[in-house]
Structure 1
């Protein structure tokens, strides 16, 4: 009899803990706040083709899957922001908010309230976070594309695209305010610390590239191995190089970022390259890339009189959770 009672208590405890988990899961809380018609717009099957159909241009130019901020009430928007905040670091969430707010700046500059709208950012779910061990979601709009995959609570975020236009606000009460400035300044710090021989290795093109090379490709393979290797830098330069990589990792939650940096340092550090094209001072077009065995970073600031930044992190084996999906099916009974 005691065994039956203990078994019952164990089952009840598991059910209760599962209930608490799903109630406190920000994704579940957000989805539970939606009406049925909103859920139908926001939720897709895990393998839906729109999952990998991404872009960074305004939503009026490239319609996004899912439900937009404009279609949510204030409470639903609050819950969505809680989900985004919980899935990024404090730094990452701050950058995302500032990028969205730049739509207000662009609207004031251009007078175009149709294209420049801070509520034209959309969220889409692939699979069900309440019932599925493997699911994903995205948050996307002008200059933001964040693609999350979750397997048994383990999260990956790739591709990660963040952009800024204007990169430096040119006028008004916020004149001089910069967004994505550390990505830019650390790049300048590194290229300008190189001696002539090192710079000859690092600079692979005299003129800047006008756009990230990989654009909005679904799959990305390593680009041509250009630039100077980490192992060819002195200790001070290596420290700046690691700070630059860390700035891109800092978008992710701290534990994820630390684990990825540890993996990079242990498995591919000596072979990582830093390549530069264009001017080496602010206000003129410039581009750089950082490429390792497993990842690619691209940065460009050439458009709009060199006041328009695009940045992206791509994982060769992990974009859109490819590595987690492979792991899931390798360990699944139904693969």
Structure 2
């Protein structure tokens, strides 16, 4: 459970760490059972979102003719520990635009860190065609900005442009762009920016909680309710920051940050599709549990202390 391989996940389409099994090279039955474990661990909406990332990855591979690099199963899957009703164990799924970590111990569950992204954000033809992903999170972000009075909206906006001349060197990462909590950033100390939820009007506070719940929606009912209680308990200490425009259709970045939650959404430039400007249909999101409980490590340490 202390294996460093928990941290060897990454978003790029090329394989950086060959941890566990590469699903695209496994028999169909192994793929099916791996996805069945993911589905059994997550809420129905959470599994649908995770699986959508994998399906969209396959769709992107078909669109750009790179099916051997980008496909539904170009993901690694690993188990940690032995599945048990009490002792800690977990699983990890990672690859292009999808990285999910799940830890279970003594009836508690942590699903964090989570990286989900999509380019494009919709499959518009074929057997898996469906509605765009992340539409709720995008709408909630602009709804929150609209619910703020002008002075708080201005204070929340750390930079008015996505690539702003006022940004310090290094603020735009070559791969993560505006994200601060992506891969290889475990336990990073991120400065608080923007405005506090304690200073927001009640309508905006409620929308902020809806954004938080959309990020933790991968959890099943019981763990999600416990997680939301934790988030509400720290609501006054939650900060909200914004980069970019805030009208419908604008590209933007936002971050929720509290002692128990870091949640980021960022619009990105094209990588495989033919455009070199930021677009609403290329989206990355990151969820972290700060102060040592990514990968459920605080729960694991507590269990180890009690059980030798």
Measured against the shorter chain, the TM-score band is 0.7 to 0.9
- 1:331 and 2:306 equivalent? yes
Post-superposition CA distance 1:158-195 (Å, at most 9, x none): 111111111245x6578894112211111111112222
- 1:102 and 2:44 equivalent? no
Output the TM-score relative to the length of structure 2: 0.85
| CA-based RMSD | 2.2
Output the TM-score relative to the length of structure 1: 0.79
Post-superposition CA distance 1:91-114 (Å, at most 9, x none): 110001111111232123211122
Equivalent residue, structure 1, for 2:232: 265
Contact 1:146–1:161 (Cα < 8 Å) also in 2: yes
Equivalent residue, structure 2, for 1:31: none
Q: CA deviation at 1:202?
A: 0.8
Which of 1 and 2 has greater Rg? 1
Q: Distance in 1 between matches of 2:93 and 2:145?
A: 33
- When residues 218 and 133 of structure 1 are mapped into structure 2, their CA distance, relative to the original with a 3 A threshold, is farther
Runs of 4+ in 1 over 4 A off after TM superposition: 171-176
Q: CA deviation at 1:53?
A: 1.1
Q: Distance in 2 between matches of 1:195 and 1:292?
A: 22
Contact 1:102–1:166 (Cα < 8 Å) also in 2: yes
Contact 1:284–1:302 (Cα < 8 Å) also in 2: no
Q: CA deviation at 1:218?
A: 4.7
Structure 2, unmatched stretches of 5+, are: 163-171, 271-277
Give the match's secondary structure for 1:255: helix
Q: Distance in 2 between matches of 1:141 and 1:248?
A: 19
Q: CA deviation at 1:283?
A: 4.5
Equivalent residue, structure 2, for 1:202: 156
Equivalent residue, structure 1, for 2:95: 141
Give the match's secondary structure for 1:265: helix
Contact 1:68–1:122 (Cα < 8 Å) also in 2: yes
Pairing partner for 1:253 from 220, 243, 252: 220
Q: CA deviation at 1:78?
A: 2.3
- When residues 120 and 328 of structure 1 are mapped into structure 2, their CA distance, relative to the original with a 3 A threshold, is same
Higher helix share goes to which structure?
A: 1
Structure 1, unmatched stretches of 5+, are: 1-45
Q: CA deviation at 1:131?
A: 9.5
Post-superposition CA distance 1:30-86 (Å, at most 9, x none): xxxxxxxxxxxxxxxx3333221111122x342431112223323332222221111
Q: How many residues are matched?
A: 285
Q: CA deviation at 1:329?
A: 2.1
Higher mean C-alpha deviation, range 100-109 or range 255-264 = 100-109
Contact 2:257–2:263 (Cα < 8 Å) also in 1: yes
- 1:191 and 2:140 equivalent? no
